[in-house]
């Protein structure tokens, strides 16, 4: 599973297999990237891991760049292809996250870990 969080100052990815973290990545903010960067990244991860990915696009009231990633269709639903399937999850409000963040170290991924997506087969 890949949890992708486009934020105003950065883009975070948490990659897990089962209960095990296999990758934590902090990338530049999404508005400045190539329109195919996120799709190419997920296709490459799918090839590397040898399986179709579940991608959770984590959004909140400030996630205006999430549509620029090319992971949503024209109606705002997650893209599906042979490499990955995208679901959308809402994060806690910014005020609640700020209060919780004061107690955590930078680079913490607990808020993303809590977001899951039900894979429908």
Q: What is the mean pLDDT of each run of 10 residues along the chain (121 residues)?
A: 90 91 92 89 96 91 71 85 92 63 64 63 42
- What domains can you pick out in the chain, each with its CATH number? 2-113 (3.30.420)
pTM of this structure: 0.72
Closest CA to 1 of 42, 39, 56, 44: 56
Angle at 5 between CA 2 and CA 83, to 5 degrees: 35
């Amino acid at each position: 599973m890949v949890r992708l969080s486009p934020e105003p100052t950065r883009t975070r990815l948490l990659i897990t297999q089962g209960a095990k973290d296999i990758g934590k990545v902090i990338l530049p903010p999404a508005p400045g990237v190539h329109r195919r960067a996120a799709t190419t990244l997920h296709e490459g991860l799918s090839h590397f891991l040898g399986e179709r990915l579940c991608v959770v696009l984590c959004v909140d009231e400030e996630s205006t760049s999430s549509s620029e990633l090319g992971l949503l269709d024209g109606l705002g639903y997650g893209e599906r292809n042979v490499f990955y399937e995208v679901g959308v999850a809402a994060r806690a409000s910014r005020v609640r996250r700020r209060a919780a963040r004061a107690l955590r170290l930078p680079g913490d991924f607990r808020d993303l870990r809590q977001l899951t997506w039900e894979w429908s087969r």
